[in-house]
Structure 1
């Protein structure tokens, strides 16, 4: 029975997308991907993220609405075995890094004697980068590299976390979690040396046995090593090549970064009701309801999964003796080139549904984008681009053009 060795932490200068600012030094649980690796790096995950009793996340910020999933399934807050099985399956699923791609322009309209200027959305869609930048499934290119691990809070570890109270708390005494020799790498022990040191099963048992009527159990996924800047630059250039003159916004986001289980109390049911939520926001009732919820709720946030899209490795053959490898086999620049035909064509067609592009939609957009580019002679495309640039200088907006 040996002590767990944590994998190296991300470099301090490494960019990251995280569901929270603080990364506690939790103990590790090894995890194994559950879905076979697929060759198409643009293919989004299918139904693996479906959870029982799924509800949309209510928020006044559109970006946060897709950042998490909520469930009020009674079995998840009352049955330890069901919750443990659910959490363990969730640790095998990576976060879903996305790019929100939006194009708008300002348009003036006359209303009587007044002229009003408003924003008009030309395109608004998302692309899922999970299979492009993350390793999800079996890949023998770098079989010894660790790209993900799960961490669990232990008693007396001194880390700040929600352990069933209203506030995140710390403990004074140090502690550790060990793996059983016969079950190495699969789950944590719940008892060690006669002390109550919970692992996944232990925390699930504490949550389900908690008599508090209003309680929640939160599991988080964090992403490290991803820099969206190269993709933003390349994809913006590709959209501009269509002659588009409006404002382009490309921002990173994480879908399904948080999974939260609520007990089926009427307060939790009401707080996750869309109509009730917006009624509280519009009528300013949150000033009264939020303190009541805070006082009654018992929160558990003790389990996290850390995923890496890139890592630095020692390699004597490279300048400086080190280099960077990528989980999905593609750097951010290469990933942008893979997505370029799809993004360019989606912007050209004015996709405005605001949702993640589906697998069939991606395939069709990629085919149309490649065909459109090959159909336009180079000389003609340059002439059209110059003409569209002149129209932009003259204040005449052009949504479309020849995709080059």
Structure 2
């Protein structure tokens, strides 16, 4: 239902044979021998979600004139942050300052690897097909958008859309700038951020929104996808593999301050609209009444072409990232993990099995590890995760 609410323009209501080394090794089928070696000092810090947000948020500027505006709501599912403040509707300079402030925070890209299969189950005498999740793991790529995370050094650019791009320019539908096709060769200057902020504040639309986007550019998703699919298949997995690249915290939306927009950001009103099917009427109304300004983008560069045409990377390449995470991913897949992997998974994937002082515990732990290792080897040889 949270996806439905979002589509309506509403905020959602509330050393071991099974592990990989962190280093490139000759003869290791899961590692790319052509990629430069990654050392332990290059690893990102261990963190939780709250620590990431605190570490990567920009520091408040020292100017006394800066207005700190808190979001009205943040969608837990999509990561969209909503703002509604009268000064953002009436003071273009304030809106411009806020956009520059938001541009200092990075998007949070992830690699998500999941595997599922279908089973036939007996439900009170009736045969039904049920989808089973074998593993579902995610790895955050945000640390690799920085050349120096401690100093927040990155390749970023805050830009406005080009005249020939089809986007919403204070309109309901996407469109190019007037005369863009005819004057593209003349090099007509595109509006600046300050000009777009003035246009938004000057708009007399009853419902309007100013949308700021963060994007990751220069990441070869297809290259990573091919490598990760090969890695999962190398475990003899026979199920359905899905590899995606979701991005969190990539959008900030400013709604003009009015009762209708306040209602669309109120959880119980959103749920009431869904359960009573009123969204059949409210969605067209909100869609066609809201004039959207989707004209500002902050680009965070993972790689860019050099003068010679070769790719330059802000931190590490896709192959280096794969070499770094290959063992941990393989181990997580074989263990049928669900959740987000962090640096601890990198470290433990390259560590020997723990040894306990208690002989009894050592014996039990050794039996369990031997059993898990035996099952993993059987799975590798015979295959696992197939539909049944």
Shorter-chain-normalised TM-score: which range?
0.5 to 0.7
State TM-score, norm by structure 2: 0.64
Q: Partners in 1 of 2:324 and 2:300 — Cα distance?
A: 22
Once residues 89 and 53 of structure 1 are traced to their aligned partners in structure 2, the CA distance between those partners, rounded to angstroms, is 13
Contact 2:91/2:201 (<8 A) preserved: yes
Per the alignment, in what secondary structure is the counterpart of residue 383 of structure 2? helix
CA 1:49–1:118 in 2, change beyond 3 Å: closer, same or farther? farther
- RMSD over aligned CA atoms reads 4.2
Q: Which residue does 2:221 correspond to in 1?
A: 228
- Aligned runs of 1:367-378 on 2, under 5 Å? 367-371=347-351
Superposition map of 1:227-306 within 5 A: 227-239=220-232, 246-277=239-270, 279-281=272-274, 283-306=276-299
After TM superposition, give the deviation of residue 263 of structure 1 in Å. 2.1
> Which structure is higher in helix share?
2
Q: Which residue of 2 aligns with 1:52?
A: 70
Aligned residue in 2 for 1:22: none
Runs of 4+ in 1 over 6 A off after TM superposition: 373-376, 379-383, 393-397
The offset of 1:244, in angstroms, is: 5.5
The answer to whether residue 183 in structure 2 is matched with residue 203 in structure 1 is no
- Structure with bigger RCO (C-alpha 8 Å, 6+ apart): 2
Structure 1 counterpart of 2:379:
388
The one of 102, 124, 129 aligned to 2:114: 102
Matched residue SS, 1:371: coil
Change (3 A) 1:108 1:137: same
Q: Separation in 2 of the partners of 1:282 and 1:392?
A: 44
Question: 1: distance between equivalents of 2:166 and 2:239?
Answer: 45
Q: Give 3-state SS (helix, strand or coil) of 2:53's partner.
A: coil
User: What is the distance in 2 between the residues matched to 1:239 and 1:223?
Assistant: 25
Shift of 1:380: 10
1:334 is matched with 320
Alignment of structure 1 residues 55-204 onto 2, 5 Å: 55-57=73-75, 65-66=78-79, 68-132=80-144, 135=147, 147-152=155-160, 160-168=166-174, 170-172=177-179, 175-176=188-189, 199-204=192-197
Q: Is the 8 A contact 1:42 1:128 kept in 2?
A: no
Contact 1:42/1:132 (<8 A) preserved: no
Contact 2:145/2:301 (<8 A) preserved: no
- Structure 2: gaps spanning 5 or more residues: 1-40, 59-68, 356-365
Asked whether the 8 Å contact 1:165–1:298 carries over to 2, the reply is: yes
Give 3-state SS (helix, strand or coil) of 2:178's partner: coil
Report the CA distance between 1:151 and its aligned residue: 1.9
Q: Under a length normalisation based on structure 1, what TM-score does the superposition of the two structures give? A: 0.62
User: What does residue 216 of structure 1 align with?
Assistant: 209
Could you tell me which of 35, 40, 43 is aligned with 1:40? Answer: 43
| CA shift for structure 1 position 118 | 0.3
2:297 counterpart SS class = strand
| Structure 1 residue 334: Cα displacement | 1.3
**Partner SS state of residue 338, structure 2:** coil
1:343 corresponds in structure 2 to: 329
Task: Go from structure 1 to structure 2 and tell me whether the alpha carbon gap of 1:76 and 1:345 turns closer, same or farther (over 3 Å shift).
Answer: farther
Q: How far 1:260 moved relative to its partner?
A: 1.2
Distance 1:351 1:381 in 2: 14
2:117–2:386 CA contact under 8 A, matched in 1: no
